[in-house]
Chain A
Amino acid sequence: MAARGDLPVWVDLALIPLLNLLFALVISGLVVLIIGENPLEAMWIMLKGAVGSLKGWGYLLYYATNFVFTGLAVAVAFHAGLFNIGGEGQAYMAGAGAAAVGLSLEFLPWPIVIPLSILASMAVGAFWAWVPGVLQVKRGSHIVITTIMFNYIALSLMAYLINYGFRPVGKMAVESREITGAYIMSFREVAREFFDLRLPSTPLNFSVFLAIAAAFAVWYLLWRTKLGYEIRAVGASPEAAVYAGIRPDRIIVITMAISGALAGLMAVNEILGAQHRLVLGFVQGAGFVGIAVALMGRSHPLGIMLSAMLFGLLYQGGTELSFAKPDINRDMIVVIQGLVILFMGALEYAFRPWLTALFFRPED
Chain B
Amino acid sequence: MTPAIELIGIDKRFGAVHANKDITLEIAQGSIHGIIGENGAGKSTLMSILFGFYSADKGEIKIKGRPVKIKSSSDAISFGIGMVHQHFMLVDPFTVLENVVLGAEGGRLIGPALAKAREELTRLARDYELEVDPDAIVGELPVGLQQRVEILKALFKGAETLILDEPTGVLTPDEADHLFRILGQLRDQGKTVILITHKLREIMAITDHVSVMRRGEMVATKETKKTSVEELAELMVGRRVLLRVKKGKAKPGQVVLDVKNLTWKDRKGVARVDNVSFTVRSGEIVGIAGVSGNGQSELLELISGISKPSSGQIIFEGKDIGILGDPRHVREEGLAHVPEDRQHRGLIASFDASESGILGWQYDESLGRGFRLDRQAVVARSKKDMLEFDVRPADPLLRSGKFSGGNQQKIILAREIGRDPDLLIVGQPTRGVDIGAIEFIHRRIIALRDEGKAILLVSVELDEIRSLSDRILVMFAGRIMGERGPEANERELGLLMAGVSKDAA
Could you list which residues of chain A lie within 8 angstroms of chain B, going by C-beta atoms?
223-230, 232-233, 236-237, 239-240, 242-246
Does B327 contact A236, Cβ atoms closer than 8 Å?
no
A313 to chain B, nearest CB (A): 32
Q: How far is the CA of A236 from the CA of B329 in the complex (A)?
A: 23
Closest to B339 in A: A243
Stretch in contact with the other chain, from B109-117, B169-177, B201-209, B368-376: B368-376
For the complex, would chain B's binding face be called helix, strand, loop or mixed by DSSP majority? loop
Q: Which of A236, A242, A243, A244 interacts with B350 by CB under 8 Å?
A: A236
CB neighbours (8 Å) of B367 from chain A are 226
A327 to B344, CA, bound (A): 55
The 8 Å CB contact of A233, one of B339, B341, B359, is B359
Q: State the majority secondary structure of interface residues on A.
A: helix
Q: Are B363 and A226 in contact (CB under 8 A)?
A: yes
Does B348 lie at the interface of the complex (its beta carbon under 8 Å from any beta carbon of A)? yes
How many Å from the CB of A219 to the closest CB on chain B? 12
- Is B60 an interface position by the 8 A CB rule? no
List chain B residues, Cβ under 8 A from A245: 305, 326-331, 360, 363
**B373→A225 contact, CB < 8 A:** yes
Quick one: given A233-B348, A239-B344, A240-B359, are A225 and B337 in contact (CB under 8 Å)? no
In the docked arrangement, what's the CA distance between A242 and B329, Å? Answer: 12
Report B252 CB to chain A, min CB distance, Å.
Answer: 29
Q: Which of A224, A227, A236, A237 has the most CB of B within 10 A?
A: A237
> Within the assembled complex, what's the spacing in Å between the Cα atoms of A233 and B373?
14
B351 and A243 contacting across the interface, CB-CB below 8 Å: no
Tell me how far the C-beta of B338 lies from the nearest C-beta in chain A, rounded to whole angstroms: 10
A246 partner residues in chain B, CB cutoff 8 A: 328, 362
Chain B nearest CB, measured from A258 CB (Å): 13
Most chain B CB within 10 A, of A223, A229, A230, is at: A229
**Complexed CA–CA distance, A313 and B416 (Å):** 51
CB distance from A202 to the nearest CB of B (A): 38
Given that A236-B348, A237-B348 are contacting pairs, would A243 and B337 also be in contact in the complex, using a CB cutoff of 8 Å?
yes
Shortest distance from the beta carbon of A174 to any chain B beta carbon, whole Å: 43
Bound Cα distance A225, B367 (Å): 10
Beyond A225-B371, A237-B350, A239-B344, 9 additional pairs, beta carbon < 8 A: A228-B373, A229-B355, A236-B348, A243-B337, A243-B345, A243-B359, A244-B327, A245-B327, A245-B328
Q: A224, B373: Cβ atoms under 8 Å?
A: yes
Give the CA-CA distance A102 to B218 in the complex, in Å.
81
Chain A residues with CB under 8 A of B349:
236-237
What residues of chain A lie closer than 8 Å to B368, measured between beta carbons?
225-226
CB <8 Å contact, B362 and A239 = no
Q: Are A230 and B346 in contact (CB under 8 A)?
A: no
A260 CA to B359 CA, complexed, in Å? 28
Query: Of A223, A240, A242, which is within 8 A of B348 by CB?
Result: A240
Shortest distance between the CB of A236 and any CB in chain B (Å): 5
Q: By the criterion CB–CB under 8 Å, are B327 and A242 in contact?
A: yes
In the complex, whether B285 has a CB less than 8 A from a CB of chain A is no
Q: How far is the CB of B8 from chain A (nearest CB, A)?
A: 32
**Pairs A–B under 8 Å by Cβ, sample size 7:** A226-B363, A233-B348, A240-B346, A243-B327, A243-B337, A244-B362, A245-B363
Interface positions of B (Cβ within 8 A of A):
304-306, 326-331, 337, 339, 341, 344-351, 355, 358-360, 362-363, 367-368, 371-373, 375
The listed residue with most B CB atoms (<10 A of its CB), out of A237, A245, A246, is: A245
A224 to B346, CA, bound (A): 22
Q: A243-B360, A244-B327 are in contact. Are A236 and B351 (CB under 8 A)?
A: yes
Docked CA distance A225–B339 (Å): 25
Chain B positions within 8 Å of A223 at CB level: 373, 375
B347 touches A240 (CB 8 A): yes
Check if B344 sits within 8 Å of A244, measured CB to CB: no
The residue on B at minimum CB distance from A242 is B306
CA distance A225 to B378 in the complex (A): 12
Known contacts being A224-B372, A236-B351, A245-B326, is A229 close to B344, with CB within 8 Å? no
Please, how many angstroms separate the alpha-carbon atoms of A310 and B196 in the complex? 60
When chains A and B are docked, how far (Å) is the Cα of A223 from the Cα of B344?
Answer: 21
Q: Is the CB of A226 within 8 A of B371?
A: yes
List the B residue with the shortest CB-CB distance to A243: B345
Across the interface, do B306 and A240 meet the contact criterion of CB distance under 8 Å? Answer: no
Distance of B421 from chain A, by nearest CB (Å):
14
Instruction: Report the Cα distance A263→B358, complex, angstroms.
Output: 32
Residue in B closest to A220 when the chains form the complex, CB atoms: B372
- Chain A neighbourhood of B337, CB < 8 A: 243
- What residues of B have a CB within 8 angstroms of the CB of A229 in the complex? 355, 358, 362, 373
- Residues in chain B near residue A239, CB distance under 8 A: 341, 344-345
A226 B328 Cβ-Cβ under 8 A: no
CB neighbours of B304 from chain A (8 A): 243
User: Which residue from chain B places its CB closest to the CB of A223 in the assembled complex?
Assistant: B375
Given A243-B337, A243-B345, A245-B326, CB of A226 within 8 Å of CB of B362: yes
Collect the chain B residues with CB atoms within 8 Å of residue A244's CB: 327-328, 359-360, 362
4 A-B pairs with the lowest CB-CB distances in the bound complex, closest first: A245-B328, A245-B327, A244-B360, A243-B345
Q: Which residue of A lies closest to B330 (CB)?
A: A245
Q: Closest approach, in angstroms, between the C-beta of B240 and any C-beta of chain A?
A: 32
Contact: A232 with B375, CB < 8 Å?
Answer: no
CA separation between A230 and B362, bound complex, in Å?
8
How many angstroms from the CA of A232 to the CA of B346 in the assembled complex?
Answer: 15
User: B401: nearest residue on chain A (CB-CB)?
Assistant: A5
A221 to nearest B CB, angstroms? 9
**Which residues of the other chain, B, contact A242 by a CB distance below 8 angstroms?**
306, 327
Which residues of chain A come closer than 8 Å to B341, judged between CB atoms? 239
Nearest CB in chain B: distance from A218 CB, A = 15
- Interface pair B351/A232, CB less than 8 Å apart: yes
Determine the distance from Cα of A242 to Cα of B304 in the docked complex, in whole angstroms.
11
Using Cβ atoms and an 8 Å threshold, which residues of chain A touch B326?
A: 245
CA distance A227 to B348 in the complex (A): 16
Q: What residue of chain A has the Cβ atom nearest to residue B307's Cβ?
A: A242
Tell whether, in the assembled complex, residue A240 and residue B344 are in contact, meaning their CB atoms are under 8 Å apart.
yes
A360 vs B101: C-alpha distance when bound (angstroms)? 48
Query: A224 contacts which chain B residues (CB < 8 A)?
Result: 372-373, 375
Shortest beta-carbon distance from B142 to chain A in Å: 25
**In the bound complex, do residue B345 and residue A240 qualify as a contact, i.e. CB atoms below 8 Å apart?**
yes
Q: B326's closest neighbor in chain A, by CB?
A: A245
B434 to chain A, nearest CB (A): 20
Contact between B360 and A226, CB atoms less than 8 A apart: no
Write the chain A residue with the least CB distance to B374.
A224
- Which residue of A is nearest B329, CB measured? A245
Contacts of A237 in B (CB 8 A): 344, 348-350
What's the least CB distance linking A211 to chain B, in Å? 23
- Taken together as a complex, chains A and B put the C-alpha atoms of A225 and B375 apart, in Å, by 9
Contact A227 B371, beta carbon cutoff 8 Å = yes
* CA distance in complex: A223, B374 (Å): 9
The residues of A that contact B351 with a CB separation of less than 8 Å are 232-233, 236
Q: Which of A227, A228, A233 has the most CB of B within 10 A?
A: A233
Residues of A within 8 A of B330 (CB): 245
Q: Give the distance in Å from the alpha carbon of A34 to the alpha carbon of B355 in the complex.
A: 52
The CA-CA distance from A232 to B356 in the complex, in Å, is 12
Q: State in angstroms the CA–CA spacing of A338 and B181 once bound together.
A: 62
